[in-house]
Structure 1
């Protein structure tokens, strides 16, 4: 057979693999008995068995393995065997046939360091995972992938709880292996389940005695599973998980907590003399102020992005107004007559104050200054209020310049704004008084 005819036959073989036609395969092999042995001499990255395993052609796979069993160990350009592909796609019967032909394939890793079981875990192929463990090499459940994760990590990471349960039940792994951390961050499967807020996964993992016993195991950052909740946005799921962990006896790592010296170490220091009433009054006053300043504001961190967006928007608007002032080209516009000059100067003053205040708020937000107490939040709120107030005044002066209206026609906007500001001020005063009352 010439080289041209041989290449044509190989091309036909791959086309037949896509269709999964056993009769056509037998016809091709009848014409050229050495056809399957010449596959390794071609430039194709996959073998026909890779294609058959990927597409789920069971009879075609059986026929190929009967003719040449060694195809089960051939790899593609990613170093994946046909078993990798069949496992990822969930073709249980093909997985069974491949394992009967060569069970060693279940321990072969691809270029990412993953064996077929890793792909079954990632894709949630529960029956394939069961087949790979119980039908071949049970030790495959203990293999880490190239990124240092176990099959249990992959199940949690891709949220496949049923597959995780099957691996735990069938895998016959050491219980301490379930508490293994990944190589990069040292996160256990419980760390991941908490981080991804998988309530059912957390509940199941807490039912495993060894995991519950190692309640306060830490990752490489020194975080316990309970600490992980402080690193994710708060919602009802995180609260529910926190209650579950606390009930199970989990604790925060005290080394990660910010501790302030107890008041006794500051005020009630044993002394050879008795404090007089004035000293005691000022000491207690300083103590209360310190407590007030140390109050953390979770609301502030949530407001950081919003304040930054608002201040940037105001800066953009006020800058644009200067570049394109109301009324168009002021050098030729009739509104530049004497009666409008004073009005335009006031408009420009209000706009400039709003512009500078908004830049100040933005600068404070991006400067890296710790924003941890109510005082800083108050300063940011006042700064934003100044921006908005003078933006309202800018609007009041801009309307007459544009439409030749009188001030009286725009004062309703000012009065509405003052009413809103007044309501917020009253609310803030009540809130501050309430906080002071609690501290005192």
Structure 2
């Protein structure tokens, strides 16, 4: 007669600490990192730490516990993203405030050379972007990704007029060409959404010059004005 299969053993401590973070189980989290402080920055197969999972699962109290215990705020996963990248991607203002208060480095770039500022442009709400802008130093607003695109390019692409206004107010350069030769105006004018005219106007108000309107990209002779 075949023997009964033995029950599975306890999950590895690394798995347990990630599970506690995801589930918001603060008491288990405290118990684990107190017994073994190295667990506070333990990476899983994606290179993600418990702090990163707190961001993904919106477990602010567990994140505060980890940070108070000395968890690294700027550690990166296999995509080179930090907890701040993830908070910006999710548009989670509470987490952005917490991480920035713990000296999270918003200038860190992921594998696509994107910063948290780039990722914050994805959200309809301008609050995540506005919060990050308060932490910028001179000349930092125009950090470029691997396609030479700034947060202003992405705001124009996503048709976010309020984001565009905020970035221009922060002295973002409206004339920077990306890898295709496109300036933010090209991306705004290329949008099929009727509301894109607002985004276009925001950019034109900043520099209503003939040279800007006639800036031609490297791929065709079409100007931003003709695309509109």
TM-score range, shorter chain: 0.7 to 0.9
* Structure 1 residue 100: Cα displacement: 2.0
- Residue 157 of structure 1 contacts residue 192 of structure 1 at CA under 8 Å; is this kept in 2? yes
1:233-279 CA-partner distances (Å, limit 9, x unpaired)? xxxxxxxxxxxxxxxxxxxxxxxxxxxxxxxxxxxxxxxxxxxxxxx
| Equivalence for 2:216 | 218
What is the distance in 1 between the residues matched to 2:33 and 2:88? 28
| Equivalence for 2:24 | 20
Structure 2: segments with no counterpart, 5+ residues: 1-8
With over 3 angstroms needed to count, the CA separation of the structure-2 counterparts of 1:167 and 1:124, relative to structure 1, is: farther
With over 3 angstroms needed to count, the CA separation of the structure-2 counterparts of 1:67 and 1:26, relative to structure 1, is: same
What is the distance in 1 between the residues matched to 2:124 and 2:102? 24
* Structure 1 residue 34: Cα displacement: 3.8
| Equivalence for 1:163 | 163
1:319-345 CA-partner distances (Å, limit 9, x unpaired)? xxxxxxxxxxxxxxxxxxxxxxxxxxx
| Equivalence for 2:3 | none
Q: Match of 2:174, SS?
A: helix
- Residue 106 of structure 1 contacts residue 137 of structure 1 at CA under 8 Å; is this kept in 2? no
Give the alignment of 1:199-348 within 5 angstroms.
Answer: 199-208=197-206, 210-212=207-209, 214-220=212-218, 221-229=220-228
- Residue 174 of structure 2 contacts residue 184 of structure 2 at CA under 8 Å; is this kept in 1? yes
1:99-141 CA-partner distances (Å, limit 9, x unpaired)? 12224x2111111111111110123451111111113445442
**TM-score of the aligned structures, taking structure 1 as reference length:** 0.45
With over 3 angstroms needed to count, the CA separation of the structure-2 counterparts of 1:217 and 1:32, relative to structure 1, is: closer
With over 3 angstroms needed to count, the CA separation of the structure-2 counterparts of 1:13 and 1:72, relative to structure 1, is: same
* Structure 1 residue 142: Cα displacement: 0.8
* Structure 1 residue 203: Cα displacement: 2.5
What is the distance in 1 between the residues matched to 2:75 and 2:10? 21
With over 3 angstroms needed to count, the CA separation of the structure-2 counterparts of 1:26 and 1:119, relative to structure 1, is: same
* Structure 1 residue 92: Cα displacement: 0.9
* Structure 1 residue 178: Cα displacement: 0.6
- Verify: 1:8 aligned to 2:12, yes or no: yes
CA RMSD of superposed structures (Å): 2.3
* Structure 1 residue 44: Cα displacement: 5.1
How many residue pairs are counted as aligned between the two chains?
A: 215
- Verify: 1:179 aligned to 2:175, yes or no: yes
Q: Match of 1:123, SS?
A: coil
| Equivalence for 1:192 | 187
Higher helix share: 1
**TM-score of the aligned structures, taking structure 2 as reference length:** 0.83
Give the alignment of 1:67-106 within 5 angstroms.
Answer: 67-69=69-71, 71-103=72-104, 105-106=105-106
Structure 1: segments with no counterpart, 5+ residues: 230-440
What is the distance in 1 between the residues matched to 2:179 and 2:89? 24
What is the distance in 1 between the residues matched to 2:127 and 2:34? 37
What is the distance in 2 between the residues matched to 1:44 and 1:7? 18
